A = this chain, B = another copy of it.
């Protein structure tokens, strides 16, 4: 039962949704779909996944509000920033936090918690 028509969910399983939108704000969490590749490839992949999620709700990387970045290995930060800086549109950078944290699959090189404006 869900009688709250202000909530839109995408990719909902028993455990989680891929994205939830509510009153013009979208929430989602990403880990790399394919963690078998190196850090740079994972980060490129992650941000491509973010683009796809945002498109689900008529949003885009121009409308990010906040991104929390969990990195298991702080040495990956320069590479992450490299990929990130090339991806974020000029003038549209969100608020960003970055802390070290072990992730639930040791192959993951980053987990992102994203908040964005949406339609």
Contacts and interface: CB of A to CB of B under 8 A. Distances in A.
Interface of A: 1-4, 6-7, 9, 12-20, 22-25, 27-29, 62-66, 68, 70, 74, 77, 81, 84-85, 88-104, 111, 113, 115, 117
A15 B66 contact: no
Chain A contact residues: helix, strand, loop or mixed: mixed
5 contacts: A2-B62, A6-B24, A14-B93, A20-B64, A29-B66
A62 B3 contact: yes
A117 B19 contact: no
A17 B67 CA distance: 11
A68 B14 CA distance: 17
A77 B104 contact: yes
A31 to B, nearest CB: 9
B65 A20 contact: yes
Nearest to A64: B20
Contact of A103 (B25, B100, B111): B100
A3 B102 CA distance: 37
